[in-house]
A and B are shown apart, each in its own frame.
Chain A
Amino acid sequence: GIQVEQSPPDLILQEGANSTLRCNFSDSVNNLQWFHQNPWGQLINLFYIPSGTKQNGRLSATTVATERYSLLYISSSQTTDSGVYFCTPGANNLFFGTGTRLTVIP
């Protein structure tokens, strides 16, 4: 399967700060998604982004498929952004990396 590396593994931010999360993957893909797993375990879809750049409010994502990485930007972070962020490449089998655990403190 495709290997997924996410960095950093843990991140602590002061409320209002900005951050960039990175996802590297080992093979070319035609599908990549970002998810946020909240403290209750629910996985929330953030972006479906095989390539290019998308923005949704304070969040944006960029995937450079030819270089096998994707970035998730969080601006003006809020405490509700806390949780684990996963990227998953590939359509037929969604393999997960270890994620980035974000803690936003007031």
Chain B
Amino acid sequence: GAVVSQHPSWVICKSGTSVKIECRSLDFQATTMFWYRQFPKQSLMLMATSNEGSKATYEQGVEKDKFLINHASLTLSTLTVTSAHPEDSSFYICSAIDMNTEAFFGQGTRLTVV
């Protein structure tokens, strides 16, 4: 299957700073990528849909100025958590859709804001 690489796997940052998470499709071009957030023992919550070359579509209740998404190329989408606070601590996961509409997921990023 296709490979999606997410970096970093874990990050600890101070309150008030920004953190950037990268999601790359290594062996296919992904016109659409998705960003999710997952709290412990809960399901994945879709945050936004990222389309190459256009603005991301955010789900209801997700602050677009807080979670900046950029999809500048067919293989890279980034999520920046701006002015992070402890309540932003979570597990963030990206996925990318291949030409057959099958989704593949990155390894996830565990963010801890202290």
Contacts and interface: CB of A to CB of B under 8 A. Distances in A.
A33 B103 contact: yes
Interface residues of B, number: 24
Contact of B102 (A33, A41, A92, A95): A33
Q: Select the residue from B45, B101, B104, B108 with max chain A CB neighbours within 10 A.
A: B101
Main secondary structure of the interface of A (DSSP, over half): loop
A50 to B, nearest CB: 9
B11 to A, nearest CB: 14
A15 B32 CA distance: 39
A74 B59 CA distance: 34
B93 A45 contact: no
Nearest to B44: A96
Nearest to A4: B43
A98 interface: yes
A-side interface size class: 10 to 19
B34 interface: yes
Interface in A16-65: 31, 33, 35, 41-43, 45, 48
B77 to A, nearest CB: 15
Interface of A: 31, 33, 35, 41-43, 45, 48, 86, 88, 91-99
